[in-house]
Structure 1
Amino acid sequence: MTIKTDRNTSDFLIVGAGIAGCLLAWRLQKAGKSVVLLSNSKAPSASAVAAGVINPVTGRWAVKSWRIDDLLPEAERLYRSLEEELNIDVYHPMPLRRFCKNKEDQKRIGRRLRNLRYADVLGDFHLAGDCPEKIKDSYGSFDILRAAYVDLPKLLEVMRARFRFVDTQFDHADLRRIGDCWEYKEFKAAKVVFSEGAAMHGNPWFTLLKSALTPIKGETLSFECPELKLPHSIYHHGKWLLAYGDNRFRIGATYSQDFDGADPSKSATNELLEGVRAFVGTELLLQKEKQLAGIRPSTFDARPLLGAHPTEAGLYLFNGLGSKGASVAPLMSRHFTKYLLSGAQLDPEVDIKRFLNP
């Protein structure tokens, strides 16, 4: 069903304009569908403050991220394509150097380096002390290949200008079904996709999934430090540190399930400053500090939430990308577009049916 009568009538109404909503809207428009994108730019948004770090090897056990062998090629392809078409520079591949915290880390990474499955994402191991000046290095470090960061705020700002984007606070109570269409105030669409991030927790249309998603507050700290002279790269020493190469840095991120409000917190400030100290083992004079906070959607199985409402035809969910949105969104948006337009089967690992039909 295709609806095209005026600029407020569309094939798809997408609620949420973070990385999930924008990449889905992009793909739908490329497929010839009309899209209206609704989002409140002043509301707390994980994408708006995210550093966009893509890290193929994560966690205490230094394992490959979920589906990373499929996610990385699609992420690079889509971001490069967007850069060319939008004439912007937002995708920055670069090495990531992770520091071992103890002897167990050393043993663990030794096993990974001998595992052929990790040959494409792990590089050299560096002995203790073989590191950039000032970084605390007692147990050595190793290179993670195919890492990158995506300038998400810049990308989303440019992408939104390409859509019928309406900056507004969405009120779920005003959404109603009229015949074969869904109406929201002056807007009408055949299908509505919710990509609200953590705001899904208050979505009355998907209360059955409320327990599947937990809002998590994450905060980062940007600063300048002329005495911390690090090459343009990403470092990991308990937290990640993004060195832009011109005395500018960003460290993150905190993880808080119990929080009051979306504003930056003093407790996170202390945690992030302690993170800087963990990198260098001493106090540094930080200048022009700027702390950012966002609330991201986290699922207990760390998998996205994709699928159709079980009883309300035309309502869909594309959410739950969590802290790995920069790497997950490109492939998942392609996967979901095929589902929406041609009825392709959803991967059971991301289908919301895993929570609706346990």
Structure 2
Amino acid sequence: MSQQFDFCILGAGLAGLSIADSLAEHDFSTAVIDREDIAAGASGTPGGLVNPATGRRAKKVWKAEQCYTTTLQCLQKVQETTEDHFFAKNGVLRPALMEKMARKMRNEYEQTSWPKDWCQWKSEGQIKEMHPGITCVNGGLWLPVGLTVDVGQYLHAYAAYLEQEAGTTFFLNQDPIERYDDGYWRIKLEKTMIRAKHIVFATGRATATSYHWDWLPFNLIKGQVAEFKTANNALGFDHSISSLGYMARLGYDGTFIQGSTYEHDYTHLDPDDQGEEYLRKRLRRTLPRLEKDVTTVNQWAGVRTSTPDYMPILGQHPTDKNLHLFSGLGSKGLLHSKFLADHYVDHLVNGSELYPEIDIRRYCLTNT
């Protein structure tokens, strides 16, 4: 028994589900395969932010308006199909923790063109009024458009949407892909054979070890997050925070997600005591009184795939045009994934040029 598809996507994380969605919107038949399960990799973090101002300077993200609009539309589309609430537009507060940081953030803010009501500079007094007990030096940013997402829950709902509404077929237990003379890629599974004209690698860290793509300069970064809970079962504020990591605030039961570590030299893939202490230290720096009051409920770890220029990689293999790559989303996967998936499918369907910032050819030119 065999099943035939236009595209087979390897990986059921943010990149894989987003490209499956965009392909289905153009009536391509799609299959998604993952070695483990939906959201089993770095995309499955229990809490993340859609924050258009990132880094120490709170710099506006590349293509922020387009990415944010597309992300919000996709979240709303999927949310309509389930009663489980997996995201909230609760805003992101970005306090400066040092005078130098405040100066750089303020300078970046004043030189940046922000859409109306997206980003506001707040004085130290205003931020401390918004959030009593927070560490703040000389002000910071308030982003009312900021979103908080339970990413793992979102991806499970997204997969269910794709299966029910778009006809996407999901499989587990990927075997190696094989190319046959008829022009189709074949993947042998336990009970069926998949034949696909095109293969899309959206496998995150596994991409770096694939012989098809091992010439690309990927950086693998382990990130740990912790779920904390307050003793009195309440927090007293609704927004999330971006400050030496992030604090993702979902629900009203006194729990929140604190992230993330950035481990380049790791020896295992599991969460550990060192990661918990690192996250507590970061929480202590921003919210010292809160850190004393919380207990650790759970921990999670995953490995993100990043690039030297911190931009994703999209494109066709330089010698095999039926092999495609969508990787390197790093910590901005929530914000970039659907916009870039739409952009790439438009490139495939209409021949539009890829943005040079994300085009795989920026590395092909120096490596082939």
TM over 0.5: yes
> Is the CA contact 2:102–2:139 (under 8 Å) kept in the aligned structure 1?
yes
> Residue 172 of structure 2 aligns with which residue?
167
> Residue 132 of structure 2 aligns with which residue?
133
**Aligned to 2:280, what secondary structure does the other structure show?**
helix
1-structure distance, mates of 2:122, 2:342: 36
For the pair 1:279 / 2:283, whether they are aligned, the reply is no
For the pair 1:216 / 2:221, whether they are aligned, the reply is yes
What's the CA shift string for 1:21-73, capped at 9, x where partnerless?
Answer: 01111121222111111002369611112523111111112211122122111
Deviates more, 1:292-301 or 1:240-249: 240-249
For the pair 1:73 / 2:69, whether they are aligned, the reply is yes
Deviates more, 1:10-19 or 1:96-105: 96-105
The counterpart of 1:118, out of the listed 114, 117, 135, is 114
**Aligned to 1:356, what secondary structure does the other structure show?**
helix
**Aligned to 2:292, what secondary structure does the other structure show?**
coil
Q: Which amino acid letter does the alignment assign opposite residue 248 of structure 2?
A: L
Q: Which amino acid letter does the alignment assign opposite residue 154 of structure 2?
A: L
Q: Which amino acid letter does the alignment assign opposite residue 5 of structure 2?
A: S
What's the CA shift string for 1:197-232, capped at 9, x where partnerless?
Answer: 1110111112222xx211111111101114573312
The counterpart of 2:311, out of the listed 303, 313, 319, is 303
Deviates more, 1:78-87 or 1:286-295: 78-87
> Is the CA contact 1:219–1:293 (under 8 Å) kept in the aligned structure 2?
yes
Deviates more, 1:304-313 or 1:87-96: 87-96
> Residue 193 of structure 1 aligns with which residue?
200
What TM-score results when the alignment is normalised by the length of structure 2?
0.88
Q: Percent identity?
A: 25
Deviates more, 1:42-51 or 1:8-17: 42-51
**Aligned to 1:207, what secondary structure does the other structure show?**
coil
**Aligned to 1:351, what secondary structure does the other structure show?**
coil
Q: CA deviation at 1:87?
A: 6.1
> Residue 230 of structure 1 aligns with which residue?
236
C-alpha change, 1:220 and 1:195, in structure 2 (3 Å) is: same
> Residue 329 of structure 2 aligns with which residue?
321
Q: CA deviation at 1:182?
A: 0.9
Q: CA deviation at 1:97?
A: 0.9
Q: CA deviation at 1:188?
A: 0.6
> Residue 90 of structure 1 aligns with which residue?
86
For the pair 1:47 / 2:43, whether they are aligned, the reply is yes
2-structure distance, mates of 1:237, 1:40: 34
For the pair 1:8 / 2:11, whether they are aligned, the reply is no
For the pair 1:37 / 2:36, whether they are aligned, the reply is no
Alignment of 1:100-119 (within 5 A): 100-115=96-111, 117-118=113-114
Deviates more, 1:222-231 or 1:63-72: 222-231
Instruction: Tell me the number of residue pairs that the alignment of Structure 1 and Structure 2 aligns.
Output: 349
Show structure 2 runs of 5+ residues with no match.
none
> Is the CA contact 1:230–1:243 (under 8 Å) kept in the aligned structure 2?
no
Q: CA deviation at 1:279?
A: 2.1
Superposition RMSD in Å: 2.2
The counterpart of 2:210, out of the listed 203, 221, 238, is 203
C-alpha change, 1:82 and 1:44, in structure 2 (3 Å) is: closer
Q: CA deviation at 1:115?
A: 3.7
**Aligned to 1:295, what secondary structure does the other structure show?**
strand
> Residue 270 of structure 1 aligns with which residue?
277
Q: Which amino acid letter does the alignment assign opposite residue 32 of structure 1?
A: D
1-structure distance, mates of 2:27, 2:83: 22
Q: Which amino acid letter does the alignment assign opposite residue 219 of structure 1?
A: Q
2-structure distance, mates of 1:140, 1:254: 25
C-alpha change, 1:112 and 1:230, in structure 2 (3 Å) is: farther
**Aligned to 1:53, what secondary structure does the other structure show?**
strand
Q: Which amino acid letter does the alignment assign opposite residue 126 of structure 1?
A: S
> Residue 156 of structure 2 aligns with which residue?
157
For the pair 1:184 / 2:187, whether they are aligned, the reply is yes
For the pair 1:258 / 2:271, whether they are aligned, the reply is no
2-structure distance, mates of 1:12, 1:232: 41
> Is the CA contact 2:13–2:40 (under 8 Å) kept in the aligned structure 1?
no
> Is the CA contact 1:208–1:356 (under 8 Å) kept in the aligned structure 2?
no
Deviates more, 1:137-146 or 1:258-267: 137-146
Q: Which amino acid letter does the alignment assign opposite residue 214 of structure 1?
A: N
C-alpha change, 1:348 and 1:137, in structure 2 (3 Å) is: closer
1-structure distance, mates of 2:195, 2:2: 10
**Aligned to 1:255, what secondary structure does the other structure show?**
coil
For the pair 1:239 / 2:239, whether they are aligned, the reply is no
Q: CA deviation at 1:249?
A: 1.1
Q: CA deviation at 1:116?
A: 5.7
> Residue 3 of structure 1 aligns with which residue?
none
> Residue 358 of structure 2 aligns with which residue?
350
What's the CA shift string for 1:99-122, capped at 9, x where partnerless?
Answer: 111112232333344346136432
